[in-house]
């Protein structure tokens, strides 16, 4: 029951769109466009600010179905008093990080699904 409430609360916050600052951005990442194994939330305090702080959550299973992670995301939003929540309705890329997990300017060698694919549309680009 609590899981469904957390999922619904997060969805409602995202559907409201821009309502002012601070803005929370939430992005899902996974090895393909079906399974999210990482979620990243950031806070943008005002129009001129960079996203800071940033929090990352990882799972070996679907993060969108992890009650603990959803609760922590909601707590993060409350802690930083996020008024707006921006969250794409799709997984937007590989969970690995350029420079940290593979060389800058290259594609992730682990996530073949994302090779030659636009992260925003999921469509092949080459």
Per-residue model confidence as pLDDT tens digits over 40-91:
999 999 999 999 999 999 999 999 999 999 999 999 999 999 999 999 989 9
pLDDT at residue 84, rounded to an integer: 96
3-state DSSP assignment of residue 14: helix
What is the arithmetic mean of pLDDT over 105-121? 90
Please give the pLDDT value at position 126. Answer: 67
Structure confidence at residue 108 (pLDDT): 92
pTM of the model: 0.89
Q: Which residues pair with 27 in a beta bridge?
A: 40
Task: Give the model's pLDDT for residue 1.
Answer: 47
- Residue 4 CA, distance from chain mean position: 19
């Amino acid at each position: 029951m609590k899981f469904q409430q957390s999922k619904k609360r997060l969805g409602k916050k995202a559907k409201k769109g821009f309502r002012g600052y601070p803005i929370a951005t939430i992005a899902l990442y996974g090895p393909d466009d079906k399974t999210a194994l990482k979620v990243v939330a950031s806070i943008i305090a005002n129009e001129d600010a960079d996203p800071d702080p940033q929090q990352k959550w990882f799972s070996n299973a679907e993060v969108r179905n992890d009650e603990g992670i959803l609760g922590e995301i909601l707590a993060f939003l409350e802690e930083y008093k996020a008024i707006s929540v921006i969250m794409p309705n799709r997984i937007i890329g590989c969970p690995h990080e350029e420079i940290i997990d593979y060389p800058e300017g290259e594609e992730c060698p682990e996530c073949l699904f994302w090779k030659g694919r636009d992260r925003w549309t999921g469509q092949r680009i080459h």
